[in-house]
């Protein structure tokens, strides 16, 4: 019997893409989709243990005042749940140990790397090894980009997908690693999932604007070693229907947008494997 899938979309403190992400989960077939404020987790009114799929949407956590998602990561790691000694990070650790799925988009990706959830070498989900910093252009980038997908990646979310076309909307999207060894290991372990490219299924590019932020090795998204945790800067939840496409009046497009593929892969995996 297929599993009943419960998805949680975390919001609050500056998040602004929660409605689109929740809509994507519903369209992809999640049986339950709850938009939950971080404050509800901290008050103990909601628990991550009750869900299978954690979605971390885009936005501007705490105004990015300490750098993108840094304050949000500090809150999750250190704030105790009211009336207990437990932290949200304790629930997050159990969530990962149970083999559940996490998707972080834009600010959600920034949050994952600041928490250490990615790349999580050797099962270490608490050490930060990469970051996302200011775009080389020195300005906020709002444009559509092509993404090449690594066919050798273990990423659950991109299985069987050759290329993608999504919008980016960020000021701090440049991916960099702590050192060359981290970068080398990301590639060797096939944890680089998507790269900015010259077209769908195209080669990785460093040139602006195809690479909108100057990310090292054109990296737009990575996963952990299991493929169950995935973060990327471009927004799949912003392309769920053909009318979301910037050229929908000039091109013949499938009714479903490419972004829905990401969420369908996640929901189908949970339903059939957890």
The dihedral through the CA atoms of 190, 173, 22, 237 has a sign that is negative
Neighbour tally for 149: CB within 10 Å:
22
Tokens 């990785």, residue located = 204
Give the pLDDT confidence score for residue 1 in this predicted structure.
Answer: 59
| Size of the chain, expressed as the number of residues it contains | 274
Could you tell me if 189 and 146 are in contact, meaning their C-beta atoms sit under 8 angstroms apart? no
Residues annotated as part of the active site: 106, 235, 237
Q: What is the pTM of this model?
A: 0.97
Residue partners of 260: CB distance under 8 A and separation at least 6 = 24, 27, 28, 236, 239, 240
Whole-angstrom distance, CA of residue 84 vs CA of residue 226 = 31
Whole-angstrom distance, CA of residue 168 vs CA of residue 111 = 16
Whole-angstrom distance, CA of residue 223 vs CA of residue 104 = 10
Give the pLDDT confidence score for residue 253 in this predicted structure.
Answer: 97
How many domains is the chain built from? 1
In a domain, 245, yes or no: yes
In a domain, 200, yes or no: yes
In a domain, 147, yes or no: yes
Could you tell me if 136 and 174 are in contact, meaning their C-beta atoms sit under 8 angstroms apart? yes
Q: What share of the chain is helix, strand, coil (3-state, %, to 5)?
A: 30, 25, 40
Helix or strand holding residue 163 (H, E): strand 163-170
Among 112, 108, 89, CA closest to 20: 108
In a domain, 1, yes or no: no
Read off the pLDDT of residues 228-261 as tens digits, 9 standing for 90 and up. 999 999 999 999 999 999 999 999 999 999 999 9
Is a pLDDT exceeding 80 seen at residue 2?
A: no
Could you tell me if 112 and 236 are in contact, meaning their C-beta atoms sit under 8 angstroms apart? no
Range of the domain at 112: 6-273
Give the pLDDT confidence score for residue 29 in this predicted structure.
Answer: 97
The domain that contains 58 carries what CATH number?
A: 3.40.50.880
Read off the pLDDT of residues 63-112 as tens digits, 9 standing for 90 and up. 887 788 999 999 999 989 999 999 999 999 999 999 999 999 999 999 99
Query: Pairing between strand 192-197 and 141-149?
Result: antiparallel
Could you tell me if 87 and 78 are in contact, meaning their C-beta atoms sit under 8 angstroms apart? yes
Residue partners of 71: CB distance under 8 A and separation at least 6 = 13, 61, 62, 65
In a domain, 185, yes or no: yes
């Amino acid at each position: 019997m297929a599993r009943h899938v419960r998805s949680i979309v975390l919001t609050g403190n500056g998040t602004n893409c929660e409605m689109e992400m929740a809509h994507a989960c519903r369209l992809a077939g999640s049986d339950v989709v709850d938009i939950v404020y971080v404050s509800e987790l901290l008050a103990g009114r909601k628990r991550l243990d009750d869900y299978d799929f954690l979605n971390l949407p885009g936005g501007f956590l705490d105004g990015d005042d300490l750098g993108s998602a840094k304050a949000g990561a500090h809150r999750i790691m250190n704030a105790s749940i009211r009336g207990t000694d437990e932290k949200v990070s304790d629930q997050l650790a159990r969530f990962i140990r149970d083999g559940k799925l996490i998707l972080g988009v834009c600010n959600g990706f920034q949050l994952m790397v600041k928490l250490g959830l990615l790349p999580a070498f050797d099962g270490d989900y608490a050490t930060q090894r990469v970051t996302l910093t200011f775009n080389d252009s020195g300005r906020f980038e709002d444009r559509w980009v092509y993404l090449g997908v690594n066919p050798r990646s273990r990423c659950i979310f991109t299985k069987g997908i050759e290329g993608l076309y999504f919008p980016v909307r960020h000021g701090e999207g440049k991916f960099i690693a702590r050192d060359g060894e981290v970068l080398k290991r990301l590639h060797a372990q096939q944890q680089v999932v998507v790269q900015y490219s010259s077209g769908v299924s195209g080669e990785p590019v460093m040139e602006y604007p195809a690479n909108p932020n100057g990310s090292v090795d054109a990296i737009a998204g990575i996963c952990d070693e299991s493929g169950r945790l995935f973060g990327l800067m471009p927004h799949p939840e912003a392309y769920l229907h053909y009318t979301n496409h910037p050229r929908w009046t000039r091109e013949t497009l499938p009714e479903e947008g490419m972004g829905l593929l990401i969420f369908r892969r996640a929901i189908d995996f949970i339903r059939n494997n957890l």
